[in-house]
Amino acid sequence: MIVVTGGAGFIGSNLVQALNQRGREDIIVVDDLSDGRKVLNLADCEIYDLVDKDVFAGWLAEGRDLGEKIDVLFHQGADSNTMEWDGAALLRTNYDYSKSLLSYCAAQKVRLVYASSASVYGRGPVFKEQRQFEKPLNPYAYSKFLFDQLVRRLSPGIRTQVAGLRYFNVYGPRESHKGGMASVAFKLREQLLESGAVRLFEGSDGYGDGDQRRDFVWVGDCTAVNLWLLDHPEVSGIFNVGTGRAQPFNDVARAVIDHFGRGVVEYVPMPSALEGRYQSYTQADIGALRAAGYDAPFLSVEQGVQQYMKWLEARD
Q: Is 69 a catalytic residue?
A: no
pTM of the entire predicted model: 0.95
> pLDDT of 243-277, one tens digit each?
999 999 999 999 999 999 999 999 999 988 787 77
Q: From the candidates 140, 142, 167, 281, give the one annotated as an active-site residue.
A: 140
- Which residues in the chain are classed under CATH 3.40.50.720? 2-171+216-243+284-299
Q: Which residues pair with 162 in a beta bridge?
A: 112
237 contacts 292 by C-beta, under 8 angstroms: yes
> pLDDT of 128-177, one tens digit each?
999 999 999 999 999 999 999 999 999 999 999 999 999 999 999 999 99
Q: Which residues pair with 214 in a beta bridge?
A: 247
pLDDT at 27 over 80: yes
Q: From the candidates 104, 178, 187, 281, give the one annotated as an active-site residue.
A: 178
Q: Considering the domain 2-171+216-243+284-299 in this protein, what is its CATH number?
A: 3.40.50.720
Q: What is the mean pLDDT of the chain?
A: 95
31 contacts 7 by C-beta, under 8 angstroms: yes
Q: Given 3.10.620.30, 3.30.9.40, 3.90.25.10, 3.90.480.20, which CATH number is that of 176-213+246-281+303-315?
A: 3.90.25.10
Q: Is 178 a catalytic residue?
A: yes
144 contacts 168 by C-beta, under 8 angstroms: no
Length of the chain counted residue by residue: 316
- Which residues in the chain are classed under CATH 3.90.25.10? 176-213+246-281+303-315
Longest dimension (CA), the chain: 57
Mean pLDDT along residues 34-44: 94
Which amino acid appears at position 32 of this protein?
D
